[in-house]
Amino acid sequence: MKYGLLAPISRRCFAGLAVAVLAVGMATGPADTARAAEPLKVVATTGMIADAARQVGGDLVTVKALMGPGVDPHAYRQTRTDIVALSKADLVLWHGLYLEAQMEDFMGELAKKQNVVAVGESLPKNMLIGHDDYDEKYDPHVWMNPNLWSRVVLTIRDALIKARPDSEAAFRENADAHLADLVELANYTTRILSSVPTESRVLLTAHDAFNYFGSAYGFEVIGIQGISTESEAGLQRISELVDMLVDRDIRAVFVESSVSDRNIRALIEGAAAKGHKVVIGGELFSDAMGEPDTYEGTYVGMIDHNTTVISRALGGKAPQKGMLGKLS
């Protein structure tokens, strides 16, 4: 796994801009008494974190997500607009666990001046999947298991309570309601995915975003790239996977909404050259959710979509419209 870093000059420019913007924000910010009457301003890096903050915060918060549909958090770098939004936030929520690899240094500096919480890093290390090649580095894609994500929701709830103690009762009530939805989601995923024949439980995708999914539901997960999309898939890797598709008679692979389908297309073409037909089983949401204001643009809708698409493509039984009949 390779973690890309900002060039030194770019990092210095961003750091300088951040300091300037933060200074202006502190000098011109409204009084604390006035702020207490306003919705809490929350900025989140990913859509999954933003959705949880909205579910728990309700009308008491306004939430801005830096990364929208189709955006790859592994390669994302903060923009000037992001820095302004972050400087004005009452609470900044990011994932951590090296998901937002290009933003690590910036978030570390921001945390010295503002309320910043790395929500993924609240999970006990014994619940995380380690990296084979890097000590103390973990797979960040914990949202692929609703039971693990429920723990992250609790961290987000506690961060909101700390930022706005007067609203604790409302935050707890909203969190309880959302956690009940996640229990229903977890039950659905377990039931639907158990209908996939054991021999067909092979999930091949663009990168290793589904290891927590595989661990939870008994699927063998194969990513062309590593845990980070910054890693590269060479010709040898593609050739080995083509041979595996043929030898094991795997007939469906999956693309991801936030990762190029170039490598998946290469696999399909390579298998076809050997007389083996492989189809795209569907597009999955890995590092980003669906479009705003859609069911798939929520965490529940994202996981419902993935579960339903995977099950139906691999021979399981799932309703076409998903758990709540809302899938598009």
Q: What is the pTM of this model?
A: 0.86
Question: In this model, does residue 17 exceed pLDDT 50?
Answer: no
pLDDT digits (tens, 9 = 90+) for 69-111: 999 999 999 999 999 999 999 999 999 999 999 999 999 999 9
What pLDDT was estimated at residue 310? Answer: 97
Nearest to 193 by CA among 24, 37, 316: 316
pLDDT for the residue 80:
96
Q: What is the pLDDT of residues 228-287, one digit of tens each?
A: 544 455 678 889 999 999 999 999 999 999 888 888 999 999 999 999 999 999 999 999
- Give me the percent of the chain exceeding a pLDDT of 70: 85
Tokens 């993924």, residue?
120
Asked if the model's pLDDT at residue 171 lies above 80, the reply is: yes
Task: Write out the E strands in 74-159.
Answer: 91-94, 116-118
**What average pLDDT is seen over the chain?**
88
Maximal CA-CA distance, the chain: 71
Element (DSSP H or E) covering residue 27: helix 8-28
What pLDDT score was predicted for residue 70? 94
As a whole number of angstroms, the distance between CA 48 and CA 284 comes to: 14
What is the predicted pLDDT for the residue at 133? 65
Homologous superfamily, domain 8-170: Nitrogenase molybdenum iron protein domain (3.40.50.1980)
Between the two ends of the chain, the Cα-to-Cα distance in Å is 35
Report domain extents, the chain.
Answer: 8-170, 190-313
Give the percent of the chain with pLDDT over 90. Answer: 78
11-15, 173-177, 260-264: range with lowest mean pLDDT = 11-15
Least confident of 19-28, 157-166, 198-207: 19-28
Question: Do 8-170 and 190-313 show the same overall fold?
Answer: yes
CB atoms within 10 A of CB 29: 13
> 23-60: per-residue pLDDT in tens?
444 444 444 444 557 999 999 999 999 999 999 999 99
Top-level CATH class of 190-313? alpha beta
- Residues 206 and 204: their CA atoms lie apart, in Å, by 7
> 49 near 89, Cβ under 8 Å?
no
Give the tokens for residue 217.
Answer: 């539901």
Q: Rounded mean pLDDT of 219-227?
A: 82
What's the pLDDT at 36? 55
pLDDT bucket at 223, cuts 50 / 70 / 90? confident
Say yes or no to pLDDT of 1 above 70.
no
13 — pLDDT class (breaks 50, 70, 90): very low
